[in-house]
Amino acid sequence: MALFPPLPPFADVLRRSVAELVGTFALVFVGCGAILTAGPDAGAGNLEVALAFGLVVGVMVSALSHISGGHFNPAVTLGFLITRRLSLVLAVAYWLVQFAGAVLAALLLRWIYPETQEATLGAPALAPNIELGAGLVLEAVLTFFLVWVVFATLADSRGAYTAIAGLAVGFTITFDILVGGPLTGAAMNPARAFGPELVANVWDDFWIWYVGPLAGGAIAALLYDELYLRSARPVPVGPPETGVEEPGAGMAATEVRMGVESPPPAGNEPGKLT
Burial of 248 (0-12, 13-18, 19+ CB in 10 A): exposed
From first to last of its 274 residues, what are the pLDDT tens digits of the chain?
466 667 778 889 999 999 999 999 999 999 999 999 987 555 558 999 999 999 999 999 999 999 999 999 999 999 999 999 999 999 999 999 999 999 999 999 999 998 877 678 999 999 999 999 999 999 999 999 999 999 999 999 887 767 789 999 999 999 999 999 999 999 999 999 999 999 999 999 999 999 999 999 999 999 999 999 986 444 555 555 555 554 444 444 333 344 444 444 444 444 333 3
Decide: 143 and 188 in contact? Cβ < 8 Å. yes
Cα end-to-end distance, the chain, whole Å: 21
Res 43: pLDDT: 53
Q: How many CB atoms lie under 10 A from the CB of residue 39?
A: 12
Nearest to 170 by CA among 8, 1, 15, 23: 23
Calculate the alpha carbon distances from 196 to 71, 168, 242 in Å: 19, 26, 62
DSSP conformation class of 162: G
Res 9: pLDDT: 84
Res 240: pLDDT: 57
Amino acid at the residue 89? V
DSSP 172-239: HHHHHHHHHHHHH-----HHHHHHHHHHHT--TTTTHHHHHHHHHHHHHHHHHIIIIIS--PPPP---
Nearest to 188 by CA among 78, 68, 43: 78
Res 268: pLDDT: 47
CA gap 61, 166 in Å, rounded = 5
Neighbouring residues of 78: CB distance < 8 A, sequence distance ≥ 6: 91, 214, 217, 218, 221
| pTM to 2 decimal places | 0.81
Residue 261, beta-bridge partner list? 254
Res 106: pLDDT: 97
